[in-house]
Structure 1
Amino acid sequence: MHKVKDIFSINTPQDLTKKALQVFNYQYLNNLVYRKFCDLLLRDPAEVVSLEKIPFLPIEFFKTHKVISSKVSEEITFTSSGTTGSQTSKHFVTDLGIYEESFRSGFTHFYGSVENYAVLALLPSYLEREGSSLIYMAQDLIEKSNNPASGFYLHDLDSLVANLKKLEERGQKTLLIGVSFALLDLAENYSLNLKNTIVMETGGMKGRRKEMIRTELHELLKKGLGVENIHSEYGMTELLSQAYSLKNGIFECPPWMKILIRDPEDALSLLPEGKSGGINIIDLANINSCSFIATQDLGKNLDGQRTEILGRFDNSDIRGCNLMVF
């Protein structure tokens, strides 16, 4: 079963379906938490012959259980940031090489080789936020870019702006990736006109500013930074893959990841394209944890490739997901 590398050679939806069903059977046998969840749903593995039949584990289980499908000890534990006093998610990663291949291949799939970019991050550095899968990815992309201007700039906007201007003058392709509140600080305090820079937000006001809808956020960033489109990265502690939006909050997944939409009134039923509901994610890079996760996010599939992320469930609206907590 552990032919992990063939996950990254998936090319077609048929390949993904075939591999996902293999991974389901593997995780049912090897992941005690997931198996118990499936058994509580009375889901016979022999009946799981399509993606629609696969049970999706509520994401909250990463806060309360060790969700793991491997006998190998974890190499790293990624943790969610969380607010003070709240329970954080823990993702026990037994093979960091899979995560690295996933985010490197995913980035290349959408943007080409990172070596062509300078990567400037408006994110905490790894020392400030140990255990963040996003920071781990950003650190790796910064190192792989091999550009002397690449680095973390969260606490030094003046240096960031000076470097951005130099890179722009040289015509250097640049990726500016950051949390929403830091990008807003930049857009409001400096007048920039970025022509060779991709601006990518990773979400997150974290109480630093009022939450705002994506269209409002993106309009402010476009105006302040002088770019036509704002890109977005959609990832989370519990996943080892990321979806990307190149504009308008419309996301696409790499070939080994897929978003399905569940009925908010019936967590075990999936909705057709164009209908809004809860986001279920297949992430085959999660081979050693759980590849089938019911998130607390809302969205709708526009077609077989593209998904609009609409926000999060109000806690009072989460039905079905919490019914099976054991």
Structure 2
Amino acid sequence: MSLTPAASELVEAVLAFIGQDGCSDAEFDALALRLFAFQHANNEAFRRFCQRRGATPRTVKSWREIPAVPISAFKEVTLSSLPAAQAQRVFMTSGTTRKEVKGRHYHPSIAVYDRSMTKNFGARFMAGAERLPMAILFPGEQDLPNSSLAHYLALAVAHCGSEDSHVFVTPEGMDSAGLRAWLRARAAEGRPCAVLGASYAFVHLVDELRRAGESFHLPAGSRILDTGGYKGQARELPLEDFYVGLQDAFGVPRERCINMYGMTELSTQLYDDGNVLVPSVKSGPHWIRSRLLDPLTGREVAQGQRGVLAHCDLGNFNSVTTILTEDVGVGVATGGVLLLGRAEGAEAKGCSLAVEEFLRANAP
């Protein structure tokens, strides 16, 4: 789509901010408040929610004060500051809880998502490595054009993969024979490689390798990226069992088994630094900040206490920067968040009440 002059300036500012090596608290606040003013003025559903909270560009003075929109709101209303019909890309959620209703995230300029992904991925997963042969355990973009994960993995191959990278999953299933031959070839030639995909795909693959009595010792420097979640497509494993299985199947040390935490409703991902100990601490780049909230009160919890994660992602220039998830975690003194799983009990009730408040604000 053709961006308005104001939106074009904002996109350039976000791209420049992502391109920096870091930022001060004041710099983060300045861009967060600029984005808040833009979204408050142009995103009707968000503005109604803010009005209910008494939050305006005059009263909000910090990124911490921007109202956090419940993640389920992406399924209920159109959260877009620019015309949704003209978006370059629309990513949709998988619809695992309400299969008939999918959340939609509109990207008028996919360049922002792409810059966010590639810079962060290069720093956290590649960690200085040159291009690697990549095996992708997830369908490609041609099969899932509305999947943010398919686009994410396509970017990984385009920017960091070598020519012998390959997608081994289609909507019909995994080409396990082809994948196993690919892994044998990488092990035989001694070239480091990477295997990336959804966690449930790794469960199926590891089970199959065990049944076949086959395992690999991939060359030093090889690494694995799993994206978490099972979405009902595989048996769920305790984290310890999952990462023991990866190490046994591929011969990749657990410090090089990286978990990516992301979601359709965000434009930025969080990573850990390996899974020697689980659960692992996740952290993001300088253009996303997270806080832990009591969903019943909306207030931040004290350091070391459980809370529901809220992210302020400056890559979300068009939708809403600040999202209340349904994930529970604990902040750690060194920075980052220890993820503990999905909200349950009182925390889940608090998330539901936040959704009800948003819907009341947008009732006809």
TM-score by length of 1: 0.91
Which structure 2 residues correspond to residues 1-326 of structure 1 after superposition, within 5 A? 2=10, 3-10=13-20, 11-14=22-25, 15-71=27-83, 73-83=86-96, 85-110=99-124, 111-112=126-127, 116-145=131-160, 147-154=162-169, 155-190=174-209, 191-194=215-218, 195-229=220-254, 230-248=257-275, 249-266=280-297, 268-303=298-333, 305-314=335-344, 317-319=348-350, 320-324=353-357, 325=359, 326=362
Equivalent residue for 2:5? none
Report the aligned-residue RMSD: 2.2
> Unaligned stretches of 5+ in structure 2?
1-8, 210-214
* Contact 2:121/2:156 (<8 A) preserved: no
Structure 1 distance, partners of 2:283, 2:117, is 14
Structure 2 distance, partners of 1:67, 1:150, is 36
Structure 1 distance, partners of 2:197, 2:88, is 26
Q: AA paired with 1:271?
A: V
> Does the residue aligned with 2:293 lie in a helix, a strand or coil?
strand
Q: AA paired with 1:37?
A: F
Q: CA distance change for structure 1 residues 169 and 305 in 2, over 3 Å: closer, same or farther?
A: farther
* Contact 1:68/1:289 (<8 A) preserved: yes
Q: CA distance change for structure 1 residues 216 and 18 in 2, over 3 Å: closer, same or farther?
A: farther
> Unaligned stretches of 5+ in structure 1?
none
Alpha-carbon distance, 1:40 to partner: 0.9
Structure 2 distance, partners of 1:171, 1:261, is 44
> Does the residue aligned with 2:246 lie in a helix, a strand or coil?
helix
Alpha-carbon distance, 1:146 to partner: 5.2
Alpha-carbon distance, 1:38 to partner: 0.8
Structure 2 distance, partners of 1:109, 1:19, is 23
Taking every aligned residue pair, what percent have the same amino acid on both sides? Answer: 25
Structure 1 distance, partners of 2:29, 2:122, is 23
Q: Number of paired residues?
A: 325
Structure 2 distance, partners of 1:13, 1:71, is 33
Alpha-carbon distance, 1:308 to partner: 1.3
